[in-house]
């Protein structure tokens, strides 16, 4: 084989190597961008969960007493030791939209206030549920892309392929790491591997499964009446 042929083979080999590496790096960047987008979407969900949580806090504030708070937990089926159960203990934030209600009596006014507070909680929770379900779907899609990337761009296979190209020995050692030990190659693969995203890592709470307001109106009305009867002085301070 003449020098020209050797130069041609070396040039083609170098181009193949560069194309393989460029494809690998390009696809890897795409996956990282998708992971960053998923993290941003998780941030948005946490913010939306906090807004829904403020409506949980408002209902807790309206119970006026720890005994009634326990009944509210049972009524809404709020899981213990959950994000939403922690919201029950938050100080009531006045930066949520003020609820204006009218009635002839304080009892009627308080009952309407409780019903409207729940209606708004339900609306916010459903808004959060839609966003949460979208996040679940996006996480699943990103993980499928990660699995596809790992399958199509196995780093050890790429390195083995590149080392087997007919290049100069010096180039192989310098560029392709032919002098790597098996342990070093394995460590490199572990370091560069992109792991599927565990949904729990995104740290977003599952939404509450709340009954539609019209299905809970009677029970909430009775609940509001019990609170008013037992803790009328506290309720009047709330209404003031």
Distance, in Å, from the CA atom of 2 to the CA atom of 110, rounded to the nearest integer, reads 96
Burial of residue 117 (CB within 10 Å: 0-12, 13-18, 19+) is buried
**Where in the sequence is the domain holding 186, given as residue range(s)?**
23-239
- Give domain status of residue 62, yes or no: yes
Q: List the one residue out of 201, 200, 204, 210 whose CA is nearest residue 45.
A: 204
pLDDT tens digits in sequence order for the chain, 240 residues long: 444 444 444 444 555 556 667 777 788 889 999 999 999 999 999 999 999 999 999 999 999 888 899 999 999 999 999 999 999 998 887 667 778 878 789 899 999 999 999 999 999 999 999 999 999 999 999 999 999 988 877 665 555 555 555 444 434 444 444 554 555 455 545 556 788 999 999 999 999 999 999 999 999 999 999 999 999 988 888 887
Answer yes or no: are the C-beta atoms of 207 and 136 closer than 8 Å: no
Which structure tokens are listed for 208?
Answer: 């509450």
- Give domain status of residue 75, yes or no: yes
- Give domain status of residue 202, yes or no: yes
- Give domain status of residue 176, yes or no: yes
- Give domain status of residue 15, yes or no: no
* CB within 8 Å of 45: residues ≥ 6 apart: 128, 131, 132, 135, 202, 204
Whether this prediction's pTM lies above 0.75 is answered by yes
User: DSSP labels for the chain?
Assistant: --HHHHHHHHHHHHHHHHHHHHHHHHHHHHHHHHHHHHHHHHHHHHHHHHHHHHHHHHHHHHH-SHHHHHHHHHHHTPPTTSHHHHHTTSPPPTTSPPP----SSHHHHHHHHHHHHHHHHHHHHHHHHHHHHHHHHHHHHHHHHHHHHHHH--HHHHHHHHHTSS--HHHHHHHH-TT--HHHHHHHHHHH--PPPPGGGG--PPPP-PPPHHHHHHHHHHHHHHHHHH-HHHHHHHH-
- Give domain status of residue 100, yes or no: yes
| Residue in the block written with tokens 């009634």 | 68
| Widest Cα–Cα separation across the chain | 104
- Give domain status of residue 12, yes or no: no
Domain count within the chain? 1
- Give domain status of residue 107, yes or no: yes
């Amino acid at each position: 084989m003449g020098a020209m042929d050797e130069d041609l083979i070396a040039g083609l080999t170098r181009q193949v190597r560069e194309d393989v590496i460029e494809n690998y790096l390009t696809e890897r960047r795409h996956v990282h961008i998708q992971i960053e987008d998923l993290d941003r979407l998780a941030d948005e969900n946490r913010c939306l969960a906090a807004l829904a949580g403020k409506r949980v806090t408002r209902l807790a504030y309206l119970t006026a007493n720890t005994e009634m708070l326990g009944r509210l937990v049972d009524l809404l089926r709020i899981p213990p030791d959950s994000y939403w159960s922690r919201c029950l203990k938050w100080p009531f934030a006045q930066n949520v939209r003020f609820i204006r209600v009218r009635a002839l009596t304080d009892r009627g006014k308080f009952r309407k206030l409780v019903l409207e507070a729940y209606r708004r909680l339900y609306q916010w929770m459903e808004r959060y549920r839609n966003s949460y379900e979208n996040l679940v779907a996006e996480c699943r899609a990103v993980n499928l892309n990660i699995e596809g990337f790992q399958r199509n761009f196995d780093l050890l296979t790429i390195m083995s392929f590149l080392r087997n190209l007919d290049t100069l020995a010096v180039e192989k050692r310098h560029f392709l790491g032919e002098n790597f030990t098996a342990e070093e190659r394995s460590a490199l693969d572990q370091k560069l591997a992109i792991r599927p995203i565990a949904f729990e890592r995104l740290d977003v709470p599952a939404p509450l499964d709340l009954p539609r307001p019209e299905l809970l109106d009677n029970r909430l009305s009775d609940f509001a009446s019990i609170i008013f009867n037992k803790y009328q002085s506290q309720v009047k301070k709330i209404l003031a």
